[in-house]
Amino acid sequence: MGVNLDLIKFSIGPIISPSHAIFSCIFFTLCFVGGLYFSKKTRIGGNNPRLTKDHPHVIMNRVISVVTTCIISFIGVWLLIHFSGGFKESMTILSEIYTTLVLLGFSLPTHPYHILNTFFIPLGLTMSLFIGPLFVKFLDKELPFQAKFNWRYDILNYITSLIGFRNLIFAPMTEEFVFRCCMVPLLALADFSRIQIIFLSPLVFGIAHIHHAWEVYVTNGRTMATAKFAIFASIFQFFYTTLFGWYATFLFMRTGHFIPPFFAHIFGNVMGFPVFNMAAYPKKVKKGPATNPSLYEDVGNSIYWYNANNGSKPQVK
């Protein structure tokens, strides 16, 4: 499993200055966002008005840019710890790199029990936060193994497309690597408190999404109405991504592993922002499936329901 950063802090003390840690986090963010607009050929709103963030050419070039940022961030963390004296003098470069990977949450569970903990329990916790939207999907019969769910169309075709790969795999993986795996260890080794790391570091994650306002503006007409909508949408996205960042950072710090926040990010992207449309469903649709008497015949025999319907089978299904 991952390394307990508190044990590292209290055993060797803070080895990175707070200013260096903060500067590094800002630098990683600038590399992450700036790289998306570095090339004029893939810059949204540039010389080619037909380019959008979903254009295959833009996606592929941004993949290269973000992978480069991930490499820069990893090397930055390693060098900062190295030149701050955080590694033992007897350690080889390979040992330092391995230790850095462990600090960043990349270690293999050695016991099946730990595999269960790492992969599934945090995911279950994340799913519980979406219990409302999941219930709506249940009512719409859009969950796996329900009538309106198709494995090939809803999963395979989408995830194997460039857009689906970006949204469900690449973006969660790289964002969690840079904004959680690379930033949290630096802040912890700079002796920031748990509360400071959990609630302040995701602000950088939220700010990194503000650039989407520009993309909304240039791809929807560059009008005053579009500008207002883009600003409102970016402010909303800032608060939503910051809120998720609090949760993802908490998961990373509690587990010390990359997988829990990565899975949480994937699931969050799959679900999207909750849509509060329960009022659109008739009352019997909302309460019927969860109280279907056939679910409880072996417990209470649903005697009151059958009695209320003159002994007939329940009509709500």
Catalytic residues: 175, 209
∠ CA 256-178-40, rounded to 5°: 170
Neighbours of 239 (CB within 10 A): 10
Q: How far apart are CA 244 and CA 211, in angstroms?
A: 18
Q: What is the DSSP letter of 155?
A: I
User: What are the φ/ψ torsions at residue 75 (nearest 5 degrees)?
Assistant: -60, -40
Helix axes 121-129, 112-119, angle to 10 degrees: 20
Q: How far apart are CA 191 and CA 77, in angstroms?
A: 15
Whether the CB-CB separation of 44 and 213 falls below 8 Å is answered with: no
Q: How far apart are CA 110 and CA 294, in angstroms?
A: 43
